Amino acid sequence: MLWSDPENEPPEELRDMQEKLRRLGIFLALAMVLAMIVIGLR
């Protein structure tokens, strides 16, 4: 590792995208659970 190498930190866009993907994953998981409940109640 040279002293001039950038730190091992993802760029801002990548962090934003990861955050959006995480939220989307949580949303999809909740939607799936809700769909299972609705299907189960019928």
pLDDT digits (tens, 9 = 90+) for 1-42: 556 666 777 788 999 999 999 999 999 999 999 999 999 997
pLDDT given for residue 18 in this prediction: 94
For 18, residues 6+ apart whose C-beta sits below 8 A from its C-beta are: 10
Q: Which two tokens stand for residue 3?
A: 């002293």
Q: Please, what sign has the CA dihedral across residues 27, 29, 32, 38? A: negative
Q: Which two tokens stand for residue 4?
A: 């001039």
Q: What is the pTM of this model?
A: 0.60
DSSP 5: S
